[in-house]
Structure formats: C-alpha cells, structure tokens
Amino acid sequence: MLVFCKNDNTREKAKDILDLFAYASKHVNYEIIDPDVHPSEAKKYAIERYGQAVLVGNGKQQRIEAVSEQNLDSAILKLKMSGKKTIYFTMGHGERDIEDNNKDGLATLKNALESDNYRVEKLILMREKSVPLDAGLVAVIGPKKQFLPEEIKELDEYIKQGGNLFVALDPMEDTGLEGLLSEYGVVLGNDMIIDKFSRILGGDYLIPVVSEYGDVDALRGFRYATFFPTARSLSIKKTLPKGIEIKWLARTSSQSWAETDLDRLERQGKAQLDKKDKKGPVDIGLFLKKKLDTKGGGYARLIVFGDSDFLSNTYIMTSGNEDLAMNCMNMLLGERELVVIKKKKANHLTPLTPYQASLMFWVPVVAIPCVILFIGISVFLVRRRA
C-alpha cells in the first residue's frame, strides 16, 4: 500500500488504520509518501491530490480516494478477484433501467455493482442468438411485458449451460417467465403479500418486512431488516425435477399473508385473511441450484424474488436492502469474499416499528413538555403561597 499525504493529522489517522491491516496480515505492507518530497512517485501512480492511496498486488493496482477501513477492504477484495465479471440486465420488456436515476430506476444498484469491480451492461435478448459468453450473471428486474418464446429459450439454454440468473418479478404482471421457473420448481403466486406490522412511519400494509433469512452463504449472519413494497409470494413445488435443490432465502413474519383477492384489494383497498389465502410466514425469495448434465458437472444457480421495488433507487438504500441484493449477486457470481455485511452508510434509514414511532412522538412531544409544565406550575404555586 502506498499512501500519498503530507506530514499532518491526515498522515497520523491513515497510519492508525494501516497499522491495523498490517497487524492482521503479514502480507500487508505500507509506505506513506509525501508527494511534495517525492513528486516522481506521485506522478508514477497518477496521484492527483493529497490523501489518495494505491494498493498493489496480484499483478494489479487499485486506487482509493482516502484511507478508510471500508475503502481498503473493497480495494483488497478487488485485487484478489480473478477477473472483471459482467452482469447483464435484460431490457425490452419494461424492466427497470440501470441508467435511470429516477425513483424507479436501478442506477444506484449499478453504481454499487461497479464499485465491486463488476462490468454492468444491458442485454436485449431479441437481438441476440444466445446469452453472451462473457455473462457471469443475467438479471431480470421488474419486466412488465411478456418475453418472447425465443427469448425464454435463450434463458433456458443459458441455465442448462451453467449460467446464473437473478429474477425479481412484481405481482400482477404476466411476464411469460412463469412457465420457465415452474420447470425448475419455483411457483409464482398470483397474489400480493399483506403484512399487518409493516406500517413504516405512516405507510400501508403492502410493504412486507423481512427479518428471517435462509441458511445460505449470502445471508449467514445477516441481521438487517429488508423491505419489499408490493410483493408476491413464492413457493416450492412438492416434487422437484431431478438434480434441483431449492432453499428459501427470505420470508415474511407469521403475521402476514398472501392475499389472493386482488380485485377487492385494487378496487376497495381492503384485504382480509381468507381460507384461500396463504397464511404467513410467506417465502419472498428463493435460491435454486441445478446440477448440470454435462461431463464436467457443476451447477446452474438462480435467485428469485417476488418483488423488484426493493432494488429501485427509492428503496435500495433502506435498511438492509442493498446488502441483501449485493450479497445475493456476489453469491451467484461465486465471489464469496464479497459476501459481507457492509458498514452502513450515513444515509441508510432504519424504519421504526409502529410502537417505536409512537414512543418517539409521545415522549418528546407530549410527556416531557407536560412534566416541565407541571414542575413550572408547582414552583409558581409554591412561591405564590410563600
């Protein structure tokens, strides 16, 4: 590690952090260089300002803008990655757009993936004869229109050849992918999940809160709540095709259910747990592995979610949504070392339960002022009598 900074407080702070990394691993060495004293070194590594650092290893370089634990962790992991993998997002069916910075877009997710050293591209299947050979992962996020039979065949062939597929499908949308997923043992519910305890600071019941996660690499030790606005249920077929294993990834609480009377919900905004509804906990995310029939063996892997809103610019920074998405994609791509619980950014919001929200209102707004008023009146009366 080469850190370029002056002999000031920044240097001391950087040294404290670097000492921790050097202590943790004998493979970590660092040098702090004053770019004013050694301008040739700064020029060699294209240093533009004080505080920048360059990590060198595994025949590669990674530059960071400032020394911090998170920046160093990310840079070290990138150095250890075998190569730059490509994630393709399908387009042409009303999917969420990776270039869209508006509330429904995926620009925030794209930036997060690129910061983990992935190449992110769009894929229009109808223009291709097959999924590109360099596809490490294909993502289908929130399509509104049906895929053509030829496009579904391309995705099926991609899976059979050991591809990785990440699918997020919203309720009340017929995409044509239902049959393909059913062939692999995943059933999409024609319903919408209702969660009585999902009211987030004045929200409604259509944002299920998830705090239960399955026993998979991506989510071991995952303790953040995640939120899925307008989600559908997923279920596993009782009899699975040969060579397929499915595990649940995320499920809602026992107080939720999958509402099947969508007409009443849409027209009247009302929902009631009936016999035909699926009582919670309800699976909202599934992980699937298919053993390949080829001589080389191996597996194809799929992750399916019954919602795409949680990936949008509006919701991805809410609580653990970003970590959930990134960990799942990293797991599909085989990057186990990137499957981590990242430090929460300052703008991550932690939604409150109705009880907590009520407490925050009554204590500072009502209780404390009343106590102060009572004390003031008591003091006034005592002095008046005196």
Across the chain, mean pLDDT equals 87
pLDDT at 348: 46
The pLDDT of residue 56 is above 60: yes
pLDDT one-digit tens code per residue, 67-91: 888 788 777 877 776 668 999 999 9
Q: Give the number of other CB atoms < 10 A from CB of residue 353.
A: 15
The band of 201, judged by pLDDT with boundaries at 50, 70 and 90, is very low
Q: Identify the CA nearest to 118 among candidates 98, 136, 97.
A: 136
The pLDDT of residue 246 is above 70: yes
User: What pTM value is reported for the model?
Assistant: 0.74
Strand partners, 57: 60
Q: Which two tokens stand for residue 356?
A: 């907590």
Q: Which two tokens stand for residue 203?
A: 């929200």
pLDDT at 213: 97
Give how far Cα 13 sits from Cα of 22, 24, 117, Å.
15, 17, 27
Q: Which CATH superfamily is domain 86-333 in?
A: Class I glutamine amidotransferase (GATase) domain (3.40.50.880)
Q: Identify the CA nearest to 187 among candidates 252, 241, 237, 116.
A: 237
Q: What average pLDDT does range 173-198 have in this prediction?
A: 94
Q: Which CATH superfamily is domain 2-80 in?
A: Glutaredoxin (3.40.30.10)
pLDDT at 93: 98
Torsion angle defined by CA atoms of residues 191, 195, 196 and 199, in that order, rounded to the nearest 10 degrees: -120
Using alpha carbons only, what angle is made at residue 105 by residues 101 and 107, rounded to the nearest 5 degrees?
Answer: 55
The answer to which of 26-40, 282-296, 329-343, 371-385 has the lowest mean pLDDT is 329-343
The pLDDT of residue 12 is above 60: yes
Q: What average pLDDT does range 36-60 have in this prediction?
A: 88
pLDDT at 303: 98
Question: Higher confidence at residue 376 or residue 114?
Answer: 114
pLDDT one-digit tens code per residue, 116-152: 889 999 999 999 999 999 999 999 999 999 999 999 9
Q: Give the number of other CB atoms < 10 A from CB of residue 68.
A: 15
pLDDT at 367: 65
Give the list of residues 6+ apart from residue 110 with CB closer than 8 angstroms, or none.
Answer: 98, 99, 120
pLDDT at 76: 80
What are the residue boundaries of the structural domains of the chain, listed by start?
2-80, 86-333, 353-385
Give the list of residues 6+ apart from residue 11 with CB closer than 8 angstroms, or none.
Answer: 5, 32
Element (H, E) at 184: none
As a whole-number percent, the residues of the chain with pLDDT over 70 amount to 89
The band of 361, judged by pLDDT with boundaries at 50, 70 and 90, is low
Strand partners, 3: 32, 53
The answer to which of 38-52, 56-70, 98-112, 277-291 has the lowest mean pLDDT is 56-70
Q: What average pLDDT does range 178-191 have in this prediction?
A: 97
The pLDDT of residue 205 is above 70: yes
Strands of the 192-195 sheet, one edge to the other: 192-195, 256-259, 278-279
pLDDT at 202: 52
Q: Which two tokens stand for residue 142?
A: 């929130």
pLDDT at 379: 77
pLDDT at 346: 39
pLDDT one-digit tens code per residue, 260-319: 998 888 888 788 888 899 998 999 999 999 999 877 778 999 999 999 999 999 999 999
pLDDT one-digit tens code per residue, 328-346: 999 999 876 566 545 444 3
Contact 30, 20 (CB under 8 A): no
Question: Higher confidence at residue 234 or residue 372?
Answer: 234
